[in-house]
Structure 1
Amino acid sequence: MFVILMFAVIIGAVFSFGAMVQAYAGDANTTSVSKSGAKGSTYSVQTKVAEKVIVQRGDTLWDIATEHVVMGGNVRSYVNQLLTINHLQSSQLHEGQVLLLP
């Protein structure tokens, strides 16, 4: 009887741990921090983790912008954002280069 009880406790602990990990995992693209103030007020901060793209042979900034811009968005504006975010002085890309996406 004791062995069955211990087995049940261990199984329960394993499943509980899995549920806690899932609950705290959240979205893979965001990091969330919550804090409580001295008077019981709560605030939350979320930061988005930047997406990246690896430049393939023949890729251009225009191609990358066209592929990743929000539907109906301005491709030229997205190209300018790519230039700014990645500190690029020109639109010349190199195979294997990693670009951060806006």
Structure 2
Amino acid sequence: MPSKPRVAARDWPCADCGVDTDNVDGQGHDEYYMLHRDLWLEINPNDAGHLCIGCAESRLGRRLTRTDFTDAPVNTNPRRASARLTSRLAHPD
């Protein structure tokens, strides 16, 4: 009997919408990022889990800008960042 193809598990589901933040578009682009701690705790008081950019912005009530992100390597040298994350990292305000 042929085996069924394996379905990839969601590695980093968004806490709000459930999208896999490690592969938001199904083409391997991620939304893995680090916000300044006070901002992260404002939108995620439990300090647990992940949020896609859209859900983070929804909780915040505005679009994220470059100054919201830390200088961590994940933000300064994103290798697989989604177009949405890339645009936020490049937009100064």
| Pair in the same fold by TM > 0.5 | no
The structure, 1 or 2, with the larger RCO (C-alpha pairs under 8 Å, 6+ apart) is 2
Greater helix fraction, Structure 1 or Structure 2: 1
TM-score, length basis structure 2: 0.23
Q: Work out which of the two has the higher radius of gyration on C-alpha atoms and give 1 or 2.
A: 1
TM-score by length of structure 1 reads 0.21
Higher relative strand content: 1
